Structure 1
Amino acid sequence: MTQADNTVQTRWAVLGPGAISRDFVAGLRASQHGVLHAVGSSSAERAGAFAAEYGAAASGTYDEILARDDVDAVYVGTVHTTHADLAVRALGAGKAVLCEKPASPTLQEVERILEVAARTQRPFLEAFKTRFGPFADALRELVAGGELGPLERVEGAFGFEAPTHEGRLFDPALAGGAILDVGCYPLALAIDLAAAAGQPIDAPDYRGFDAELVAGVDGWATAVIAFGTVTAEIATSVVEDLSDLAMLHFAEGDVLLPNAWGSRTESPSRIIVRRGAEERVIEVPVVQPMAAEADALSLALAEGRLEVPQMPWSHTRAAARVLTDWRAAALAG
């Protein structure tokens, strides 16, 4: 890592020059501590084109980029099924890793990543952009503060109607489907808030799974899961638009999140708190969430930490456990 004006500066490489990586580069440009330095791909030609478009100094195959000593951190933006191998290779090469969610389609593969991160003493962060910024902080504070009594239930849905039933989303070989692509977001929210409420997240009680297969993948799915005394009711789809309103039910009131997931460029900003006949609106500042997660990893690297508090490894494990079991139930019919 380099120092400029006493500010941490991380030299990033993007692995996988696809659509999500373009959004990450936009976030990186808005970050305080990161700069795009290199691009890696299975195709050196594709990497070179992406690097030229976005002004990266270096490009090449994955192995060529990981062998460079002027890369501090990598962003893994490839398809789900390649995340684990690339993350492990990058960690083994001494790089910090920000891996797009889900870290991998199975808990076993996620454990493999975390074991290598611990052994190599390199930071690893699963890229749940919704975990970062004033909105996420305010929700944790509401839960932990006890203003509305104990948290009892989290309701959330994330779904959209894909224009076609082709490509990555509908390819079983690439771990397509709604659960891994967007169902992970309401799950990650439930895990975060259950933990903030002091409830265990490592022994989920599955109350019910349901799903419908489309082109061999979970086109839509629902889950009811208890984390201690907090119940999560989750829905997801890639064949139907679902409301992005999430609700938190407490013993003494409710919290409405009208735009729970935000976008790749702006975090949510509005929280509605209802207690009896009273209602108040909390407005929080908006951040560029992909910039925020990149900066969080940069600071972990600079400070010698392996984990980022907004998305610790225990939460990555908890999410992977549920996603693995939920998806297995869905594909089993």
Structure 2
Amino acid sequence: MSDKAGWAVLGAGGISSDFLRALPAAQLGTLRAVGARDSGRARAFADEFPADFPGAAAGTYDEVLARDDVDAVYIGTVHTSHRELSLAALAAGKAVLCEKPLGIDVAETDEVLAAAERAGLPLVEAFKYRFGPFPDLLRALVADGALGEIVEVEASIGFAADRGIARLFDPALAGGALLDAGCYPVSLAVGVAAWVGRLEASAPTVVSATGVIGETGVDEDASATLDLGGIRAYVQTSITRALPRTAVIRGTRGELEIANVWGSRVASTDAAALRRPGRPDEHLHTATVSPMAAEADATIAALRSGRTEVPEMPWTDTRATAALLAQWRAALG
């Protein structure tokens, strides 16, 4: 019997496929079961990975959560089911790695975090760009003062999506750019502020915001200025046009530009340019990893050590990100 922890995947969509392709690279866990609302769909999905996970079980969500060989679950379903499935998994005694956003609003987010605290189980919001050697380097550079006092963050992410993708354009599925993509630059700004102790200075707020509300009523394109304890963050997102996948972090002693800050589902970010007055530009590089495997291992490491949080994405960051997204949506009307 393997000493690896047992994972279950809840949801049989594209991002769950990417998680299962990444899971063989994880050191601490392997797949035990796949769950979906329909057990037949779950079986068909599990059968797509016969070589990596022979003998993986399949069933409904309830059937999978009842299994004794499942220690943790990855939730890769539509936004509106994240709360329901996270609460069910925690009630079943499973650690949870849930795709962002953890909840579609602040109330849902707080409810799930409170349930994890009561259960004493790990709960991780799956911002994969936070896991791996490069984000470790980034946190160290920001926290150790290599840029001086942090004053600004700029970050964006956007893509032109097919309007037939319901989860993006249907308000009943909590569609829109902010929850699907805008959470990335917001969470990065929150992380930077947290690494230098600014989240404790004052509640993060949206200073101003503009955007486009589409015909279906979801936010399709938006920008905002945020204040995080004196750090100004300028964020943009869209599901109707391509935007750079870059971030710039500015301090009183220099700036760091990350050309591909979000990485991909396959490989973590590995490069940035550090610019400081009077010095040659420094081109920083790290190894790459599978970020989805890294976040899976971080979840299991927390479970084995009795922790409810992981340092890469602590609950204070999840709460602050949810609060800012709610303010941003409200500012767009």
1:249 maps to a residue whose letter is R
Aligned partner of 1:171 in structure 2 is 170
Contact 2:127 2:313 in 1 (8 A): yes
Distance in 2 between the 1:212 and 1:147 partners?
A: 38
Say whether 1:51 aligns with 2:46: yes
Say whether 1:231 aligns with 2:228: no
Aligned partner of 1:304 in structure 2 is 306
Alpha-carbon spacing, 1:166–1:39, altered in 2? closer, same or farther (3 Å): closer
Greater alpha carbon shift after TM alignment, 134-143 vs 294-303: 134-143
Deviation track 1:80-108 (CA, whole Å, cap 9, x = no partner) reads: 01000100000000000000001011010
TM-score (norm 1): 0.95
Distance in 1 between the 2:195 and 2:249 partners?
A: 13
Say whether 1:28 aligns with 2:30: no
Aligned partner of 2:291 in structure 1 is 289
Deviation at 1:162, TM superposition (A): 0.8
Contact 2:134 2:270 in 1 (8 A): yes
2:251 maps to a residue whose letter is F
Greater alpha carbon shift after TM alignment, 62-71 vs 271-280: 271-280
Say whether 1:41 aligns with 2:36: yes
Distance in 1 between the 2:240 and 2:34 partners?
A: 33
Aligned partner of 2:269 in structure 1 is 268
Distance in 1 between the 2:132 and 2:176 partners?
A: 28
2:30 maps to a residue whose letter is V
Distance in 2 between the 1:155 and 1:48 partners?
A: 44
SS at 1:256 equivalent: strand
Contact 1:105 1:323 in 2 (8 A): no
Greater alpha carbon shift after TM alignment, 203-212 vs 153-162: 203-212
Aligned partner of 1:66 in structure 2 is 65
Deviation at 1:147, TM superposition (A): 2.0
Q: CA RMSD in A?
A: 1.3
Aligned partner of 2:322 in structure 1 is 320
Deviation track 1:288-318 (CA, whole Å, cap 9, x = no partner) reads: 1000000000101111111111111111111
Percent identity of equivalent pairs: 49
Contact 2:206 2:327 in 1 (8 A): no
Aligned partner of 1:14 in structure 2 is 9
2:38 maps to a residue whose letter is S
Moved over 2 A (4+): 163-166
Taking the TM superposition and a 5 Å limit, the aligned residue runs for 1:8-157 are 9-55=4-50, 56=53, 57-157=56-156
Say whether 1:252 aligns with 2:247: no
SS at 1:153 equivalent: strand
Contact 1:134 1:285 in 2 (8 A): yes
Distance in 1 between the 2:36 and 2:316 partners?
A: 30
Contact 1:161 1:237 in 2 (8 A): yes
SS at 2:17 equivalent: helix
Distance in 2 between the 1:120 and 1:309 partners?
A: 19
Deviation track 1:140-170 (CA, whole Å, cap 9, x = no partner) reads: 1111111221011000000001133542100
SS at 2:240 equivalent: coil
TM-score (norm 2): 0.95
Alpha-carbon spacing, 1:166–1:127, altered in 2? closer, same or farther (3 Å): closer
Deviation track 1:251-272 (CA, whole Å, cap 9, x = no partner) reads: 1211111111110011111110
**Runs (5+) with no aligned partner, structure 2:** none
SS at 2:242 equivalent: coil
Distance in 2 between the 1:303 and 1:40 partners?
A: 27
Aligned partner of 1:207 in structure 2 is 207
